[in-house]
Amino acid sequence: MKYEMVAGFETHIELATNTKIFCSCTTQFGGDPNTHCCPICIGLPGTLPKLNKQVVKYAIMAGLATNCEIANISKMDRKNYCYPDLPKAYQISQYDKPLCEHGYVQLSSGKKIRLTRIHIEEDAGKLIHKRGDTYIDYNRGGVPLIEIVSEPDISSVEEAKEYVERLQQIMRFIGISDCKMQEGSMRCDVNISVRPEGSTQLGTRTEIKNMNSITFIGKAMEYEFSRQVELIESGGKVEQQTLRYDDVTNTTSSMRGKEDANDYRYFRDPDLVTISVTDEEIDELRKMIPELPFEKAQRYADELGLSEKDAQNLAKYRKIAEFFEESSEGIKNPKTAANFIIGQIFRRLETENDKESFDIAINAQQLKELIKLIDDGKIKNNLAKTTLEKMLDTGKSAGEFISESDMAGMDDNTLIELCKRAVDSSPKAVADFKNGKQKAIKSLVGFVMKESRGKADAALAEEKIVEIIGG
């Protein structure tokens, strides 16, 4: 019998506020243990929480960017459970009246992954296990979160990865979170079950807890799918439970039985007032939502003629997209700007974090000035490339490296003379070319481009060299 995967995600995203959700402690990552906390976020008796208004605004922006309906009235609830990283023995969250409901994230295939809800809540502390002892760091306790809960609409590992990547891009683009999974500011709980192919009935689900890597999410889902299928086919029964994933052994193991909502004994938090948001306030936040990366990529392809891959690479990161749009505005061919960014600039940005921060030495106007020299026929592409490298090294503009003589171009006599020198200096390349090795001509053209400091027209140089060799 063939089986199919059914998965849904609960994604926790830390919001980029300066202070925690119910107190004025910093949300800054790191710091010595228990130095970013106060009586409120460690739950001392007699303390009263006060909701951070920016948390509500960011959550609404997340809802608007994922096509959710925004509730005018919502409230905060207490989710009761006893665990050492939760000093109050309850978490302040939202239950039956969340801030955002009924949204979706659309994948590249056109499939929509429905979102049940987005609600706000506080993060718990962090347990640190060392040499058989357990320590608690409450610095993370009270950091504001949104939890994005999807419907069980994901049916493959590939869809799961794209869903998480799209959520990450959206939240970064609208500026509400850095979504750095390696720092825990984006974490996923993966609910997964299997069922016979073609069936509409959901199987018993397990939950893989606190996944903070897209790669490991994929591996964990593949393992858990196979484990459940093997269990069913051997006559066993899948138990509803919470699992941890071990990336060393690539296995899942049980942490505890999986709770249902009634196990948490939700009730309204009596210390916090009702959240009231007007339609006018929602409309103001809607105006703050920028064009999202998938919309940008489509526009780059349709209006600017970029390839789908190049468009997606440029639109993936907000700072890079803004740099591209500014540097390509008003030039003859936006592809020139795209090629410089994806080629030379991307080579200097080794990691995803490098691209996200996009900390380079030049600004968009400096790149545009360089491209306009090409557009005006003052310099060739090769000279522009070598000049851009110098600009990226120093932060200086093109004019610092390109002289009047560089922009004067090259007359035919000078070009022919250089081509003759190239032929005379490289007899092996000439022989290879005559023997049918077409690529040999490239080294001869390279000689001309080097000697002319990029001023020569490469295509014309190749044409002249072929004439000289054949003549």
Q: Are residues 438 and 404 in the same domain?
A: no
The reply to whether 299 and 199 lie within a common domain is no
- Residue that is last in its domain, among 286, 317, 341: 286
Query: Are 174 and 193 contained in the same domain?
Result: yes
Closest CA to 328 of 318, 338, 317: 338
Domain that holds residue 74: 3-286
How many structural domains compose the chain? 3
Residue range 56-77: mean pLDDT, rounded: 98
Query: Residue 439 belongs to a domain with what CATH number?
Result: 1.10.10.410
Question: Pairing between strand 206-211 and 241-246?
Answer: parallel
Domain boundary among 270, 286, 302: 286
Does 78 lie in the same domain as 115? Answer: yes
Q: Do 135 and 232 sit in the same domain of this protein?
A: yes
What is the DSSP pairing of strand 69-70 with strand 100-106? Answer: antiparallel
- Beta pairing, strands 144-150 & 133-137: unpaired
The pTM assigned to this predicted structure is: 0.83
pLDDT for the residue 262 = 75
Q: Which of 157-166, 185-194, 410-419 has the lowest mean pLDDT?
A: 410-419
Q: Which of 265, 325, 335 is nearest to 295 (CA)?
A: 325
Residue 464 pLDDT > 90, yes or no? no
- pLDDT value for 277: 97
Over residues 436-457, the pLDDT tens digits come to 888 888 888 888 888 777 777 7
Q: What is the pLDDT of residues 203-262, one digit of tens each?
A: 999 999 989 999 999 999 999 999 999 999 999 999 999 999 998 999 998 887 656 667
Q: Are residues 42 and 129 in the same domain?
A: yes
Instruction: Please give the sequence-ordered ranges of beta strands (E in DSSP) within 83-205, or none if there are none.
Output: 90-93, 100-106, 112-122, 126-130, 133-137, 144-150, 186-196
pLDDT at position 50: 96
Q: Are residues 67 and 91 in the same domain?
A: yes
The 10s digit of each residue's pLDDT in 168-214 is 999 999 999 999 998 889 999 999 999 999 888 899 999 999 899 99
Mean pLDDT value of segment 164-170: 96
Same domain, 380 and 262: no
User: What distances in angstroms separate CA 308 from CA 201, 301, 304, 340, 343, one per listed residue?
Assistant: 38, 6, 11, 17, 16
| Same domain assignment for residues 225 and 201 | yes
Beta bridge partners of residue 106, listed in sequence order: 112
Same domain, 204 and 281: yes
Residues 280 and 317 in one domain: no
Residue type, 316: K
Of the candidates 340, 326, 328, 338, the one whose C-alpha atom is nearest the C-alpha of residue 384 is 340
Backbone phi and psi for residue 4, each to the nearest 5 degrees, phi listed first: -125, 150
The more confident residue out of 48 and 443 is: 48
Mean pLDDT value across residues 74-83: 93
> Domain check: are 103 and 130 in the same one?
yes
Among candidate residues 233, 258, 286, the one where a domain is terminated: 286
